[in-house]
Amino acid sequence: MPVPGDSGFLEEQIGQWRAYLHRRQAIQPVDAAELEDHLREHVASLTAAGLSADEAFLVAVKRMGALDDLSREFAREHSERLWKQLVLVSTDAAVPAARVRTEAIFALALAVAAAALFKLPALFGKDTAHYPTFYARIFALVVLPLLTGFFVWKRRLDTRTVRWLAAGFAAAVVFATVYPFAKGGNTEVLTALHLPIALALLVGIAYAGGRWSQVAGRMDFVRFAGELLIYYALIAFGGGVLSALIGMMFHAIGIDPQAFIGEWLLPCGAAGAVLVASWLVETKQSVIENMAPVLTRLFTPLFAAALVTFLGTVLWTGRGVDIQRDVLIGFDLLLVVVLGLLLYSVSARDPASPPSAFDGLQVVLLVSALLADAVALWAIAARITELGFTPNRVAALGENLILLVNLAWSAVLHIRFLRGRGSFASLEKWQTDYLPVYAAWAAVVVIVFPPLFGWI
C-alpha cells in the first residue's frame, strides 16, 4: 500500500492523470507525453524545494490548468482531431505497426488475387460480355474463399475448422460449376443469387474465429456484414465515378475505353473491392462510428410510416394486391429491409437499457410489415395453382416464409420485452440463432432446385 510521499504513490498519481489526458480526444498521446514531462519536472523542482511528493503533485497539476480548458485549447489548435481519422498505422501500442502493415499487404495481395482469379476464365474464351450469368455464378466462388482465407490467417484458426471450411467451399465449387445449367436460365440466376448467402455462413464461421457458437461472435459477424455492405457500396460509387471519367477522357481523344472498362475495370474492381472493403472494416472497427446503426435510426421511422400508410390505404380502398410476376420478390425485399432495420438496431443496442420509444416504433414497423406481407401472401395463395410453380416463385415463397417466421417471432419477443416480460437478450439470441437458416435455405436452392426444375 503506497503512502503519500513515496515515489510509488507519485507514479500512481501521474498514471491516473495520464489516463485522464488520454481520454481527451483533442489531446493525443504525443501531447500527453509532452505535458507529462512538464508535470514531472515541476514536481521535481517543488520536491527539491521541500514539498512532499503528494503536495508537489497537487500544486503541479493545479498549475497545469483545468483539463476541460486545456482540452478546449488543444481542440481549437488541432480541430482536425475531433474528426476521427482512419489511421492505418496503429498508434495503439498493443498492436505493433509491423503487424498492421503485414495485414495491409496481405489484404491487398488477396484483392489482386481475387481480381486475377475472376478473370481466369477469360483465358478459356469466356468473356464477360457474352457470359454475364456465368460470371455472376462464380463471383462468390472466387471472392468468398479468399475472404475466408484472410480471416483464417488473421484469427489463426485451427486446422480442423479450416478443413471443414475448405470442404464447404469445395462442395460449392462442384454444385456451381458441374451442373449443366441452361445458359441464362432461371436456376442459373437463382444459383448466382443464393450461393453468396450460403457461403456467407462459412465466411461468418471464419470471421467469428471460434466464437461462432456464441451469440456475441455471431452478432459481431452481423455488424461486420452491415459495415461491409456500406463500404462496398461507397467503393462501388467511387468506381462508377472513375469509370465515367475514364470514359469521358478517352472519348475526348477518340479512343473508346468501353471494352477496357467492361472487361477489366468493372469485374476486377468488383472482385477486389470485397477484400479491400473487408480489410477496411476490420481496420477501422474502433476508429469510426459504425454507419449501419445510424442509417437504421434514420430509416426505421420512415419505413414504419410508409408501411402504416400502405396498410391504411389497403383497408380504406379495399384494393387487393395485384399479383404480377415480381410482386412476391418485391415483398421479400421489403421483409429483408425490415429485418435489416431490426438487426442493426439490435446490434447497436445496449441489451441492459430499458425499453424506449424507439422500441415501440420498431414493434409498429414489425407488425405492419407482417400485415403487409400477409396481404401479399393471401393474394398469392389464392392463385398459386393457377400461376404454376416456377423455380423463381418457389424460391421467393420459401424466402418469404423464412423471413415471416423470423419477423413474427421477433415481434412476439419485442412485445414481451416492451411489456417487461422478457429480456432484450432473448431477441438478440433469436436473431443470431436464425442466421444458419438463411444459409440452409440458400444451399437448398443451390443444390436441389436446378435438378428439380430440370436446369431451366
- Looking at 73, 256, 326, 433, which residue binds another protein (CB under 8 A)? 73
Binding to another protein by residue 14, rule CB under 8 A?
A: no
Kindly indicate which of the ranges 53-61, 318-326, 333-341, 353-361 contains the residues binding another protein, using the contact rule CB under 8 A: 53-61
Q: Which is nearer to another protein, 40 or 155 (CB)?
A: 40
In the bound complex, what is the minimum distance in angstroms from residue 30's beta carbon to another protein? 8
C-alpha grid cell for residue 450?
Answer: 436446378
Considering only residues 203 to 242 of the shown chain, the ones binding another protein according to CB under 8 A are none
Of the candidates 313, 320, 453, the residue with the CA atom closest to the CA atom of residue 382: 320
In the bound complex, what is the minimum distance in angstroms from residue 75's beta carbon to another protein? 9
Q: Which is nearer to another protein, 62 or 419 (CB)?
A: 62
In the bound complex, what is the minimum distance in angstroms from residue 280's beta carbon to another protein? 29
C-alpha grid cell for residue 260?
Answer: 477496357
Binding to another protein by residue 58, rule CB under 8 A?
A: yes
In the bound complex, what is the minimum distance in angstroms from residue 45's beta carbon to another protein? 6
13-31 core/surface letters (b: 16 or more CB in 10 A; e: else): bbeebbeebeebebbbeeb
213-232 core/surface letters (b: 16 or more CB in 10 A; e: else): eebebbbbbbbbbbbbebbb
Of the candidates 441, 377, 365, 437, the residue with the CA atom closest to the CA atom of residue 406: 437
In the bound complex, what is the minimum distance in angstroms from residue 101's beta carbon to another protein? 23
Query: With contacts defined by CB under 8 A, how many residues of the chain interact with another protein?
Result: 31
- Looking at 6, 11, 12, 41, which residue binds another protein (CB under 8 A)? 41
Q: Which residues contact 89 (CB under 8 A, 6 or more apart)?
A: 97, 100, 101
Of the candidates 361, 348, 364, 342, the residue with the CA atom closest to the CA atom of residue 434: 342
Q: Which is nearer to another protein, 28 or 258 (CB)?
A: 28
CA 301, 304, 305 angle in degrees (round to 5)? 85
In the bound complex, what is the minimum distance in angstroms from residue 91's beta carbon to another protein? 15
Kindly indicate which of the ranges 68-76, 152-160, 171-179, 251-259 contains the residues binding another protein, using the contact rule CB under 8 A: 68-76
Kindly indicate which of the ranges 66-74, 132-140, 203-211, 368-376 contains the residues binding another protein, using the contact rule CB under 8 A: 66-74
Q: Which is nearer to another protein, 78 or 349 (CB)?
A: 78
Of the candidates 39, 7, 2, the residue with the CA atom closest to the CA atom of residue 20: 39
In the bound complex, what is the minimum distance in angstroms from residue 97's beta carbon to another protein? 17
Rounded Cα distance between 200 and 145, Å, is: 10
Site string for another protein, 259-298 (x = CB under 8 A): ----------------------------------------
- Looking at 45, 177, 214, 309, which residue binds another protein (CB under 8 A)? 45
Binding to another protein by residue 11, rule CB under 8 A?
A: no
In the bound complex, what is the minimum distance in angstroms from residue 138's beta carbon to another protein? 52
Rounded Cα distance between 245 and 31, Å, is: 43
Kindly indicate which of the ranges 44-52, 315-323, 374-382, 408-416 contains the residues binding another protein, using the contact rule CB under 8 A: 44-52
Quick check: 6 and 49 in contact, CB under 8 A?
no
Q: Which is nearer to another protein, 50 or 125 (CB)?
A: 50
Rounded Cα distance between 187 and 452, Å, is: 10
Q: Cα 15 to the chain's mean position, in Å?
A: 37
Residue found under cell 435438378 = 451
Considering only residues 21 to 40 of the shown chain, the ones binding another protein according to CB under 8 A are 31, 33-35, 37-38, 40
What length does the chain have? 456
Whole-angstrom CA distances from 240 to 136, 195, 254, 294, 369 are 19, 25, 21, 25, 33
3-state secondary structure of 136: helix
- Looking at 14, 51, 117, 229, which residue binds another protein (CB under 8 A)? 51
C-alpha grid cell for residue 176?
Answer: 456451381
Whole-angstrom CA distances from 351 to 216, 255, 425 are 12, 58, 6
Q: Which is nearer to another protein, 51 or 100 (CB)?
A: 51
Binding to another protein by residue 79, rule CB under 8 A?
A: no
Binding to another protein by residue 74, rule CB under 8 A?
A: yes
- Looking at 3, 48, 178, 253, which residue binds another protein (CB under 8 A)? 48
Provide the binding-site residues for another protein, judged by CB under 8 A: 31, 33-35, 37-38, 40-42, 44-46, 48-51, 55, 58-60, 62-65, 69-70, 73-74, 76-78
